[in-house]
A and B are shown apart, each in its own frame.
Chain A
Amino acid sequence: MDPLHWVFIVTALTLTFVVFAVNPLQVGIDEALRSNAELQAQRIASTINLVASAPDGTTYTLELPDVKCKINITSQFVTMHSVPAVGIELQYTISVIKTSTQVIGGNFDCKQNTLHLRKSNGVLTITNS
């Protein structure tokens, strides 16, 4: 067979492979990001920091990742326990910026889908309903 034929066949096979591999790869990347405890904890801590310094009356709804995880929020820290589809449980604790705004957090489950943040009278209350 002529080398050009080989190149053509290999290119065709590779492109077919790439086309079918992109979607699973994308799903894998999304899953990795969703279940990344560090990233998700940072996302929550950032939201708390921003709402805590916002004017009274500010509310924000934060969508939680669609993975198995638990979140503990205290006045100073956000702890994320994430159980990825494959692999071991991951835990990450990050500190929020402590200001004169009091933060009332608690324990939350990612199955609850959203966190509601409301700042009122200098108090930031985080609930899941």
Chain B
Amino acid sequence: MIEIVLFIVRMAPAILFILFMMLIFFSFRIELKEDSMSRFNAELADSLSSSPLMLHRSIFDPQKLTETENIDPKKIIELYAYNCDFGYNIEVESIGTTICSGGNECTGFCNSVCGLDGSNIDMSTVGTLNGNCGCNIEVFGDNFCQCKKPGGDWQNSYKWHYGYEPTSASNKQSRAEFPTAVGIDGTVIPATLTINSYDTVLTRLTCVTAKAYEIKSKQSVTLNTGGFASQIFERLDPQDTHVCLYDPTSNPLECRYFPGVTFEKLTLPETSKITVTAYPAKRVATCDEIKASPSIIAGVNDNVATVVLCST
């Protein structure tokens, strides 16, 4: 008996070694990290660098940036480069300030940066209290031009910001900065392009709807809807350019630029996780009608009248 025990004790290191080797072998697994949002940011920067926003490749046109920013009063616009999977906002900001000795040296700056011209420029006060354009006098260091866009804050560098701004938590989000330039009065000044991209409940809803509408086949997406109970995904925008998540009193909570797709509204249930299926339909229908009569679903050769969203 004692010999058997001693044999087991002597064998223990060997058994442990075998177990260790087995653990190493069976714990082998492949993990594929796609990092799709970082890739999207880089590709979006590349797409924007050759878009109509540019004077030349990678040199932004201030006038086009101001025009784009002013298309929507809330600046929720994804123009010239649109990707339905991810919503994004961009910020273009010049590096450095414009040195001045008096307010009248800043009119060009105020025009380029804040879109102020003879009709709306107000240089009544040089400072930060009144007016919307002036030369900020510094006690130490150089004086610099600054201006204020309608409804905005004072800014002393060329800065534009527009795009999708989620108000709810994102499933994923990413931020990236790229070197760029802005063409001002015949000169090129260095700037930074910052892209923030988001994967949210609203981007997923818009994208599954767009996919069903264009590909003409049913599409599904899983959503974590904790905190979204009773919110309504619909288009109430009279311009037909934006969609929003509304509260039950039709107050918009979060909106996204999403033109050209017709769909039926969806009220999000109280469950924390749902699957939304988007059906391209030949006519307006309810989810029950779609399930009872699949012939309502548009095929590849049919015209899609609307997209019906059903949650389970």
Contact = CB atoms under 8 A, between A and B. Distances in A.
Given A79-B215, A99-B81, A6 B11 contact: yes
A54 B47 CA distance: 8
Interface residues of B, number: 35
Contacts of A29: 30
Interface in B196-229: 207, 210-211, 214-215, 219
Interface string A72-99: 1011110100000000000001111111
A112 B14 CA distance: 54
Nearest to B208: A93
Contacts of B81: 97-99
Interface in A81-128: 93-100
Given A3-B13, A53-B47, A74-B215, 6 more contacts: A11-B21, A53-B50, A76-B214, A94-B85, A95-B85, A98-B83
16 contacts: A3-B14, A6-B11, A6-B14, A7-B14, A10-B14, A10-B21, A14-B25, A29-B30, A33-B32, A53-B50, A77-B211, A79-B215, A94-B85, A95-B210, A98-B82, A98-B83
Nearest to B17: A7
Interface of A: 2-3, 6-7, 10-11, 14, 17-18, 25, 29, 32-33, 36, 38-39, 42, 46, 49-50, 52-55, 72, 74-77, 79, 93-100
Contacts of A36: 32
Interface string B142-153: 000000000000
Contacts of A33: 32
B29 to A, nearest CB: 11
Contact of B36 (A10, A42, A72, A98): A42
B84 interface: yes
B15 to A, nearest CB: 8
Contact of A96 (B30, B32, B83, B215): B83
A11 to B, nearest CB: 8
Contact of A7 (B13, B50, B80, B215): B13
Given A49-B43, A97-B47, A38 B82 contact: no
A49 B215 contact: no
Contacts of B174: none
Closest 8 CB pairs of A and B: A6-B14, A49-B43, A98-B82, A95-B84, A53-B50, A53-B47, A3-B14, A97-B83
Contacts of A96: 83
B296 interface: no
